Chain A
Amino acid sequence: MSSYVYMKILESQPERYDRGIALMSLGGADRCKKKLVHENVRPGFKVLEIGCGTGTMAILAALAGAEVLGFDVSDAMLEVARGKIDDSGMSGRIRLEETGVSGMDKLADDSFDLVMSTLVFSELSHDERVYALRHAYRVLRPGGRLAIADEARPETLARRLAHSAIRIPLLIATFVLTQTTTRAVDGLSDLVLEARFRIESEERSSLDSFLYLVARKEEKE
């Protein structure tokens, strides 16, 4: 089969995902998930995670007392997640579903306290982002929050260059080792506003390359 080897590498990618992402973000991805959960999850919250991948953040949220529904388009990623969730003893609090963003249309209105997602919007195409944000707004209860962390492109040229200088070698090394890549989200806050959210905070970190955005669905319109 043509480029057989390449294909085999892709097939086995989920098992190496956690290692890859830790390497690529120099540990930043985990720190970021902890921060996101710490600042937004309260005991008893119902939480929806978009693209939960290998389940790291869902477990953190469950440990913080939330009830989590996580979905992901890749059953191989979910397979890894299942193993990790069993090990963490949190399987009673986490439900997983295999679906892409379009499965969000089955979720009830106003039924979640928090919608969270890390490193997923950068993988979505424009129309998928719009769709996911529209339904995130719909399924959140009034006053509920949307929290997203993702790769972003630094805003000034100088920082962009500095960022590329670090990122490109890291990116190549990571891709070779794990076939994990991420791409930047640009203009995400505009889309969040268009979906009728009110942005509460927008932080950028480590050379501006990481975006952490928290938005709220207004109590009453």
Chain B
Amino acid sequence: MVLDWLVAYLFRWLPRSAPTGLFAIGNPDENSPVIVTANFSLTIRRLRRALQGQNLWLLVANSQGINVWCAADGGIFTDNRVVDAIKVSGLVDRVKHRQVILPALSAPGIDLEAIRRETGFRARFGPVYGKDIPAYLEGRKKKTEAMRRFEFGLEHRLDMFVSMNFPIYLLVAAPLALFWPQYFVGYTILFWSAVAFLYLFLDQIPGKTGWGQAFWCATLLVLLWAGMDWLLRGDPFLHWGWLLASFGIFFAAAFDIAGVVSARRADPELLMQRLGFKSFGSLYNDKQLGLIGLDRDKCNGCRACSDICPVGVYGELDQDKKIAFRNRNACFACGACAKQCGQGALSVA
């Protein structure tokens, strides 16, 4: 059990499937709400914990073991999957109502209308986090501003801190432990202190890009280290191997740190864009960068976009009853609003 959890946690980058289907949480009946999610094992575990004490149905759709957000944006967790889950599980015979609640972060992949057409169920997006579901249900399915937002808070950073960096750590730590055990402890300490420093203080470190920030940190460390060696031992390059390693470690840890820790654009992509690449194999293409754009003529002021944006890009309607941006630069092109806008007024460009 614990081992299973540890593997799932440390290697959360890899898909891990949980069983799909309809599950009872507590003692639900035919009037109980239905919460839909994807079958990424870590999500299910957390959701079950958050839902303790509730009486409801948990409908787990098949996302091939990938988490809601990645799978929705990657075209794997889509309305087709929700339709499959509803029909295959026989939900129609279990509940009298015809409503299901989807995770907010599934919005980039979900066409609500298609679900209604195929199953008769009216789907809506609930909160971003499972932990908010009890309060959301209590409050008659009204979302507070906080329930709509993706949190780049301490918990998220800690999560990402361990699981994003562990595989990178292992890549070097494993050969070290096998062939050069004398460096293992030093590497371990250096690696995790560097990563911890970056994750904790990223917003305070000067620099525009994650790579730039990492570069300053590494330089500072190297200068201090070399300075100390010079003063105390008379040779600034006494530990030259470690000095080089510091740069390597900071860069490895910062590879996608801007995206992971503070929802800025990923550095590798920015670099490609700056180098003038329009696309790179099928890994990257220029179209997916950029900010959300609004075709004002098409907008009918329905606010579906401001309901779903996880970073608060949208504000109120303007005097013409069209949606207005509040903080357009916060957009990180997830595509959720564009997918949900029934008027086709939004696009990432």
Q: Residues on A close to B: CB < 8 A?
A: 1-13, 15-16, 73-76, 98-103, 105, 123-128, 131, 181, 183
Contact = CB atoms under 8 A, between A and B. Distances in A.
Contacts, number: 110
B75 A127 contact: no
- Top-4 shortest CB links A-B: A10-B74, A12-B282, A100-B84, A102-B87
B83 interface: yes
19 contacts: A3-B70, A4-B265, A5-B283, A7-B73, A8-B283, A8-B288, A9-B283, A10-B66, A10-B76, A12-B282, A73-B81, A74-B75, A99-B83, A100-B84, A102-B84, A102-B118, A123-B62, A126-B21, A131-B87
Interface in B220-261: 256, 259-260
B80 A99 contact: yes
A79 B2 CA distance: 42
B19 interface: yes
B164 A13 contact: no
A15 B70 contact: no
**Chain A at the B interface: SS class:** helix
Interface string B10-29: 00010101011100000000
Q: Quick one: which of A1, A11, A126 has the most chain B CB within 10 A? A: A1
Contacts of B19: 125-126
Contacts of A75: 75, 78
A12 B73 CA distance: 11
A15 B66 contact: no
A183 B15 CA distance: 11
B299 interface: no
Interface string B45-83: 000000000000000001010100111011110101101
Nearest to B89: A127
Contacts of A101: 84, 88
B39 interface: yes
Contacts of B88: 101-102, 127-128, 131
B263 interface: yes
Contacts of B282: 12, 15-16
Interface string B272-292: 000000000111100010000
A98 B73 contact: no
A100 to B, nearest CB: 4
